Structure formats: C-alpha cells, structure tokens
Amino acid sequence: MHITVAGKQVETGEALQTHVREGLGIIARKYFDHALEANVTFRRDGKGHAFVCDINLKAGRDLFMRGEGEGPDAHRAFEEAAEHVAKRLRRYRRRVNDHARSLAATRDRPRGEPARQIVLRRPEEEEEADAAETAVANGADHPAVVAETPAEIERLTVGEAVMRLDLMHAQVLMFRNSTTEALNVVYRRADGHVGWIDPGKG
C-alpha cells in the first residue's frame, strides 16, 4: 500500500511517518490486504491547541474511506483517526467483504456514468468577490466555481450506497439504483440518520 504523509504547518518527521506506516500496515493486513493507497494529513485545530489527523484511504477501485482524529500530539491524533477507520471496518466487515467480491466482477457490470463534481464558492464569499469579475467569468446568476473534478455515478443497491456514504464519511452520495434504474440520493441527516431520496417513491 502506498502511503503519503503530509503536514499543514505541522512537522512530520521520520518517527511520525514510521508510526503512521506501521499503524496503517497493521490495519490493512487485518482487514483488507487489497488496500491501494492512503493519504494522511496532519494539521492544527482552529484554536491551535490540538493536532488533527485526516486519513483518506482507497481500498479498491470503488471503495474509499475517511477517518479523523484529534489529540494533544500528532501520534495521538493519528491513533484516534486510525481507530475510527478500524471501527468502521469492523462494523461493516461482512458487507465490505461481500462488496469486495462484487468489485472483482466489475468487468461484468456496467461502468459508472461520467459526471462532474463541482465545488461552489460560499454565498458570503461570493458577496465579497468583485461583482463585475464574477459576472463576466461565471454569469450574473451563477456562483463562482472553486473546483471541478471528474466523478462517476455508480449503479448500486441502496445498501451499498449507504455503506459507501458511511465508509467515505461523506454527507451525500448520488447513485443509480440497480433495482429501479432511477437516480437516487442518500444523505446524512442532522439527527445522524441516513435519508434516502427516490424519485420513484411518490
């Protein structure tokens, strides 16, 4: 597994990098030998008192996972983030294994539909931007585009979509329902439950 360790105004020395690689190596050997790569980033919290660690793990072509931890030092922050990843995998171990087996058969399944993932500037930032420049670059009725990346809309069951939402630690996921062939959305509600939008359900 390829592991990248980086710091945002945080020193990531050899000892910390070794600790990260050994820790993720143990988790990978225990839960998913097919893990491909991991990006681990360290930063300070908003007040500058604690360290925060973000782990973004790619466990397969269609399987991503995220964990976050906080601690008084970088080592403790990593351990908490790694434990979050391990807990999520323990919880979904059976489903992840079933999904991993299904990934092996992706050659027999339709590939995801091409799409674009776009990040828009927040309204308050838009107000602060120069109005004339924004109008010329983006049109007066459209907010400024901060980032744009290619994406895929996968064909999934609702259970697979919920699993990915949780493993990715994402707020929302659009997918094509493999049962109804309609575009569906699952999302994380404010109360912690998962919502499901199905246009076919009226």
Concatenating the DSSP letter of every residue in 60-80 gives ETTEEEEEEEEESSHHHHHHH
Give the CATH number for residue 33: 3.30.160.100
Q: What is the pLDDT of residues 66-118, one digit of tens each?
A: 899 999 999 999 999 999 988 877 776 666 566 556 555 544 556 667 777 77
Amino acid at 71: G
In a domain, 31, yes or no: yes
pTM: 0.54
Q: Provide the residue range defining the domain that includes 142.
A: 119-147
Looking at residue 135, its pLDDT comes to: 45
Mean pLDDT for all residues in the chain: 79
Residue 2 to residue 21: CA distance in whole angstroms: 9
Higher-pLDDT residue of 39, 59: 39
Q: Are residues 196 and 161 in the same domain?
A: yes
Phi, psi of 102 (to 5 degrees): -70, -30
Q: What gap in Å lies between CA 5 and CA 55, rounded to an integer?
A: 9
**Same domain for 15 and 76?**
yes
176: tokens are: 């094509």
Give the pLDDT mean for 19-40.
84
Report the alpha-carbon distance of residue 77 to residue 132 in Å, rounded. Answer: 44
Residue 112 lies in a domain: no
Tokens representing 67 are 């964990």
* Domain annotation covers residue 142: yes
181 falls within a domain = yes
pLDDT in tens, 156-202: 989 888 888 877 778 899 999 988 899 999 998 888 889 999 987 65
Question: Of 76 and 57, which is predicted with more confidence?
Answer: 76
Indicate the length of the chain as a whole number.
202
- The residue that leads in pLDDT, 112 or 15, is 15
Tokens 């030998």 sit on residue: 33
Number of independent structural domains in the chain: 3
Q: What is the DSSP string of 10-62?
A: S---HHHHHHHHHHHHHHHHHH-TT--EEEEEEEE-TTSSSEEEEEEEEEETT
Q: Is residue 111 part of a domain?
A: no
Nearest to 10 by CA among 58, 82, 78: 78
Would residue 110 count as lying in a domain?
no
**Same domain, yes or no: 94 and 39:** yes
Residues 77 and 140 occupy one common structural domain: no
